Amino acid sequence: MVDTTEQKRYWDAPGERRSPWHPAVQAFARPKIEIAIAGMELPGDGMPTMLEVGAGNGYFSVVLAETFDLTVLDFSQHMLDINPVEAPKVCGDAQALALPDKSFDYVFCGNLLHHLPDPVQACREMRRVARRQVALVEPNATNPLMFAFSGLKKEEWGALKFTARHVRGLAERAGLRTRMFVTQGSIVPNATPPALVPWLQRIDFRQPLGFYHIGVFDV
């Protein structure tokens, strides 16, 4: 069971975190957003609305804001305060979104579900507030390096069971229908040295042992 008190203490702490524009963070986030967008049904004109659940300090937010009329949500006010996007910011619980049904075209959630005590309920809530699709990004427990990395920090222990089957199962138990699902990545945003980013980008392709799962699901 995930300890939410410990999680909140961790995310509210004023520790040093990389900027969303750090080269490793950009190299981590941008390909995943591009994959997710390719799997969505985007309208031909205008900026569709999107809710980002678990936005944190903006690793995905700054990229998502280029394409979507974005609203960001996180349970840590501290993380929202340091998120640099100019967008509505909501402090709230992913498992009980205080938002109307079908209030956004899309919902995006990156690297949050493995921190939650009830990820299926969070997926149900994301499905409820989305009109079109929900996109999820989560670590790949099948990758030996990611498995070891997740085991080093208590706050990441929830990721140890996040295989592709587990992630898809969470979404499908919440009533979401898999539209696109791939595994990709060789860069960890907070740990990859900047000097290694250009080299790792050469192997940052889709493959079963990639560091992260990216899924798009119909509501």
Q: Please give the structure tokens belonging to residue 40.
A: 């969505």
CA distances from 210 to 95, 166, 195 (A): 28, 16, 20
Strands 177-184 and 104-110, by their bridges, are: unpaired
Q: How far apart, in whole angstroms, are the C-alpha atoms of residue 122 and residue 2?
A: 14
Which residues are bridge partners to 71 per DSSP? 51
Is a pLDDT exceeding 60 seen at residue 14? no
**Global model pTM greater than 0.85:** yes
Strands 104-110 and 89-91, by their bridges, are: unpaired
Q: How far apart, in whole angstroms, are the C-alpha atoms of residue 177 and residue 154?
A: 31
Strands 212-218 and 130-139, by their bridges, are: antiparallel
Half-sphere exposure of 137 (CA within 13 A, CB side): 28
pLDDT tens for each residue of 180-217: 999 999 999 999 999 999 999 999 999 999 999 999 99
Domains (range + CATH), the chain: 4-218 (3.40.50.150)
